[in-house]
Amino acid sequence: MTTIGKALAWTRAHLAWVVCAFALLVAATALRTPGPVRGFDVVGFGKLPVLEGGRVKPADSIARNALLMIRGQQTFAYDPDGDGPERPRTIGADEWLLDVLFRPPVADRQPAFVINDPDVLGLMGMQQSSNRYFSFQQIGPYIEEIQKQAMAAEAKDAKQRTRFESAVLNLFQRVLLYHRLRNTVQYFDGQGLVMEVGLRGTPAGEARRAEMAQYAYFRPLLPAQGDAGWRTIAEALRGTGPVDPVLAHWARLSLGWTLQDPKNFNGALSALQVDASSLRPDLARHAEDEWLFNLAQPFYLGMVVYVLALLVLFASWLWRPEILRPVAFGFLLAGFVVHTAGLTSRIFLQGRPPVTNLYSSAVFVGWVGVLVAVILERLYRKGFGTLVAGAAGFATLLIAHHLSLDGDTMEMMRAVLDSNFWLATHVVAITVGYGGTYVAGLIAIVWIAMRLFGTADADSMKTLSRMAYGVVCFSVLFSFLGTVLGGIWADQSWGRFWGWDPKENGALLIVLWNAVILHARWGGFARDRGIMAMAVFGNVITSLSWFGVNMLGIGLHSYGFMDEAVWALLLFSLTQVAVIVAAYVRPRFWAARPTGDEPGSGRRASSPA
């Protein structure tokens, strides 16, 4: 054999790994540092450490989370002069934040607010149209009315609010966030920080400073010597003594951006960077690490690769499965590596176990699901594992993306939750249980689909059924462990092992349901089909336990109240019920009744005459 022939043969024999390595190489390009924007070192600004929400983070995180909350995206295209000579430009989160901080009049014209609710639009005399994005300038005239409506809505219990009330309150909170950002570094009329420094001590300056002190969103000034804590600009402006050198750098930064003078801006920025890395090198490094994490967007990337894996797998059902199936598995592995890298980065950045809030639970449930399914694929090698893993990874990362719209996903833990030991044991075990139950449910869906379409041999059906049983065993172990560990944590912090709290009840439901499945199988009350239908219902129970109890808005675990997701959850549950029904209809019921086909046998139905 020639060398080329040998290489080709080797590639084919290790196709999955070759594809995985190739996909990872392509994914690595996501880590390329973007260049300066119009000569401004926007990247350097994004890396500056600041304090917000009680934790140190890069300015880039502030920018991305704020834009995500306000607009639902991390970048947007903006054409400053309508259809004029300039082409629309993509504005990144950091550049947008710079405009909000230093050039509010410019930022006010950018379409940063997404408004979907027709009634809220109606409140502002606007019709619903294809354009869902509005600038602060467009919203400005209606602020008082929005505030009035929002205050009325806020007085109500979250569960009692109408869709309009929730939407108008949400808009008001976003406007408030925007206004707070505008007042963080300088007074929001855009005169610049130099002006605030100049007005120090005067009555006018004090009035402006009071406003800034009230609204400041983050603290940009590193703890000075003697550890006085992080300061806001307003605090640094106090008094009439010599100007704090760090404040002076921020003033130059402001001037540089306002006048669009890259040289001044970059000079001031490097001075601030030197300050940060000499005063607190640890914090500066942390901010830079988190900046890199933001840049890589591993969960978004992972989601894309999972979709690729799924698409290739679908293609493999139509064409050359012996090549495409390993390719799909290769993509899946690549997605899993990216997913794992993202998860590990979060653990290091936060210094916490993987699950700390609803967002990270979605990321972790997906990770567990993919892991279990990848192992199943290696054990049984039928492509089902890839299908289940791709679906689980994609769906959970999509959910995580939607949950991230609420803001910072690495927020600090409240005192009672501030226990790495219990987060690492109880929360992880419970979440692994969720992941396992979903994998069993997904396998069951595959089984039911194959039975319905009559596309599988008895051997594949048996394999799937064995896989589902094994995964249910795995889930019952982890759900039980997680639930009881939760009880022990509760005993440690509230003095009662079990309080029938909604989230506890949800976890208990998962344990009970998995136990019902196992006992039904052991007792022979349900055969393959019954077990599969029950496993699908496990999806419903897990979703209700995971998200549903949060929607009740009561109990000790009611972190992350969500109202919009109610419909999504309901819809999902209905689809699962439909799948369960599908398990009990005749295979290929749409075709004329074939002869000799026994319902539920899963054998390929003979084609109609």
Q: Is the distance from CB of 254 to CB of 192 less than 8 angstroms? A: yes
Q: Is the distance from CB of 332 to CB of 316 less than 8 angstroms? A: no
Distance of alpha carbon 508 from alpha carbon 235, whole angstroms: 50
Query: Considering all CA atoms of the chain, what is the largest pairwise distance in Å, rounded to the nearest integer?
Result: 96
The reply on whether position 502 binds another protein by CB under 8 A is yes
Contacts of residue 607, defined as CB under 8 A and 6 or more positions apart, other chains included, come to: 591, 594
Distance of alpha carbon 380 from alpha carbon 463, whole angstroms: 7
**194-223 mask for another protein (x: CB under 8 A)?**
------------------------xx----
The reply on whether position 573 binds another protein by CB under 8 A is no
Identify which of residues 385 and 587 has a Cβ nearer to another protein in the complex: 385
Distance of alpha carbon 445 from alpha carbon 542, whole angstroms: 15
The structure tokens 């309901």 sit at: 570
Report, in Å, the least distance between residue 258 CB and another protein: 26
* Residue in 323, 458, 574, 581 binding another protein, rule: CB under 8 A: 323
* Residue in 171, 509, 532, 579 binding another protein, rule: CB under 8 A: 509
Identify which of residues 461 and 549 has a Cβ nearer to another protein in the complex: 549
Question: In this structure, what token pair is assigned to residue 555?
Answer: 């109990």
Identify which of residues 79 and 491 has a Cβ nearer to another protein in the complex: 491
The reply on whether position 379 binds another protein by CB under 8 A is yes
Question: In this structure, what token pair is assigned to residue 171?
Answer: 């808009």
Identify which of residues 121 and 484 has a Cβ nearer to another protein in the complex: 484
Identify which of residues 91 and 517 has a Cβ nearer to another protein in the complex: 517
Other C-beta atoms within 10 Å of 544: how many? 17
CA angle 502, 505, 510 (to 5 degrees): 130
* DSSP class of 49: E
The reply on whether position 501 binds another protein by CB under 8 A is yes
Task: Return the residues of window 5-34 that contact another protein according to CB under 8 A.
Answer: 12-13, 15-16
* Residue in 2, 82, 127, 500 binding another protein, rule: CB under 8 A: 500
Distance of alpha carbon 464 from alpha carbon 438, whole angstroms: 14
Q: Which of 372, 366, 484, 488 is nearest to 430 (CA)?
A: 484
Beta strands 89-92; 113-114: pairing state:
unpaired
Identify the three-state secondary structure at position 349: helix
Task: Return the residues of window 96-135 that contact another protein according to CB under 8 A.
Answer: none
* Residue in 32, 38, 87, 414 binding another protein, rule: CB under 8 A: 414
Report, in Å, the least distance between residue 249 CB and another protein: 21
Report, in Å, the least distance between residue 185 CB and another protein: 15
The reply on whether position 515 binds another protein by CB under 8 A is yes
CA angle 285, 32, 296 (to 5 degrees): 65
Identify which of residues 319 and 522 has a Cβ nearer to another protein in the complex: 522
Identify which of residues 234 and 296 has a Cβ nearer to another protein in the complex: 234
The reply on whether position 512 binds another protein by CB under 8 A is yes
* Residue in 67, 247, 392, 549 binding another protein, rule: CB under 8 A: 549
* Residue in 214, 260, 492, 606 binding another protein, rule: CB under 8 A: 492
The sign of the dihedral angle between the CA atoms of 170, 175, 178, 179 is negative
The reply on whether position 342 binds another protein by CB under 8 A is no
Report, in Å, the least distance between residue 13 CB and another protein: 8
Report, in Å, the least distance between residue 544 CB and another protein: 9
Window of 51-59, 68-76, 263-271, 394-402 that interacts with another protein by CB under 8 A:
51-59
Identify which of residues 559 and 589 has a Cβ nearer to another protein in the complex: 559
* Residue in 262, 555, 560, 600 binding another protein, rule: CB under 8 A: 555
Query: Residue 213: enclosing H or E segment and its boundaries?
Result: helix 203-215
* Residue in 72, 118, 267, 499 binding another protein, rule: CB under 8 A: 499
Q: Which of 259, 283, 385 is nearest to 333 (CA)?
A: 385
* Residue in 82, 322, 567, 596 binding another protein, rule: CB under 8 A: 322
Task: Return the residues of window 138-177 that contact another protein according to CB under 8 A.
Answer: 159
Question: How far does CA 53 lie from the centroid of its chain?
Answer: 18
Distance of alpha carbon 247 from alpha carbon 225, whole angstroms: 15
Question: In this structure, what token pair is assigned to residue 530?
Answer: 């019954």
Window of 106-114, 247-255, 514-522, 561-569 that interacts with another protein by CB under 8 A:
514-522
Identify which of residues 286 and 339 has a Cβ nearer to another protein in the complex: 286
The reply on whether position 54 binds another protein by CB under 8 A is yes
Question: In this structure, what token pair is assigned to residue 536?
Answer: 């699908």
Distance of alpha carbon 609 from alpha carbon 607, whole angstroms: 6
Strand-pair partners of 231: 221
Task: Return the residues of window 461-480 that contact another protein according to CB under 8 A.
Answer: 466, 470, 473-474, 476-477, 480
Identify which of residues 419 and 455 has a Cβ nearer to another protein in the complex: 419
Distance of alpha carbon 294 from alpha carbon 81, whole angstroms: 30
* Residue in 22, 164, 300, 498 binding another protein, rule: CB under 8 A: 498
Q: Is the distance from CB of 290 to CB of 327 less than 8 angstroms? A: no
Identify which of residues 52 and 165 has a Cβ nearer to another protein in the complex: 52
**Runs of H (alpha helix) within 222-357:** 233-236, 245-258, 262-279, 281-296, 298-316, 321-350
Burial of 305 (0-12, 13-18, 19+ CB in 10 A): buried
Distance of alpha carbon 472 from alpha carbon 470, whole angstroms: 6
Compute the chain's Rg from CA coordinates. Answer: 28
Identify which of residues 22 and 497 has a Cβ nearer to another protein in the complex: 497
Window of 65-73, 446-454, 547-555, 584-592 that interacts with another protein by CB under 8 A:
547-555
Distance of alpha carbon 61 from alpha carbon 52, whole angstroms: 10
Report, in Å, the least distance between residue 230 CB and another protein: 6
* Residue in 485, 562, 569, 582 binding another protein, rule: CB under 8 A: 485
Report, in Å, the least distance between residue 276 CB and another protein: 17
Question: In this structure, what token pair is assigned to residue 449?
Answer: 């689909």
**How many residues line the site for another protein (CB under 8 A)?**
73
Task: Return the residues of window 270-309 that contact another protein according to CB under 8 A.
Answer: none
